[in-house]
Amino acid sequence: MYTFLAFAHKQIRSLALTTLLGAGLLLNIAPASAQQPVDTKAHPNDFVQVVANNALQALKKEPEAKNGNIERINELINQYILPYVDFEKTTRLAAGRYWRQATTQQQKDLVDAFKNTLVRTYSGALRQADNVSAVTPLPFRGDPQADDAVVRTSMSRSNGPAIGVDYRLENVADGWRIYDLNVEGIWLIQNYRNQFAQQIAQTGIDGLIKALNDRNQR
Sheet strand arrangement including 186-187: 132-137, 148-157, 160-172, 175-183, 186-187
Write down the least CB distance from residue 113 to other proteins, Å.
11
By beta-carbon proximity to other proteins, the closer residue of 36 and 170 is: 170
Query: Cβ distance 135 to 46 under 8 Å?
Result: no
What sign does the CA torsion over 71, 72, 73, 74 have?
Answer: positive
By beta-carbon proximity to other proteins, the closer residue of 54 and 166 is: 166
By beta-carbon proximity to other proteins, the closer residue of 82 and 162 is: 162
Write down the least CB distance from residue 158 to other proteins, Å.
9
Write down the least CB distance from residue 43 to other proteins, Å.
12
Q: Which of 19, 21, 58 is nearest to 36 (CA)?
A: 58
Write down the least CB distance from residue 100 to other proteins, Å.
5
Helix residue ranges, H only, the chain: 2-33, 44-60, 63-66, 70-80, 87-95, 104-126, 188-217
Spatial distance between the Cα atoms of 210 and 218, rounded to a whole number of angstroms: 13
Q: Which residues bind other proteins (CB under 8 A)?
A: 92-93, 96-97, 99-101, 117-118, 120-121, 124, 140-143, 146, 148-150, 152, 154, 156, 160-162, 164, 168, 180, 184-187, 189-199, 201-202, 208, 211-212, 215
Query: Cβ distance 70 to 77 under 8 Å?
Result: no
By beta-carbon proximity to other proteins, the closer residue of 58 and 94 is: 94
By beta-carbon proximity to other proteins, the closer residue of 82 and 150 is: 150
Write down the least CB distance from residue 84 to other proteins, Å.
18
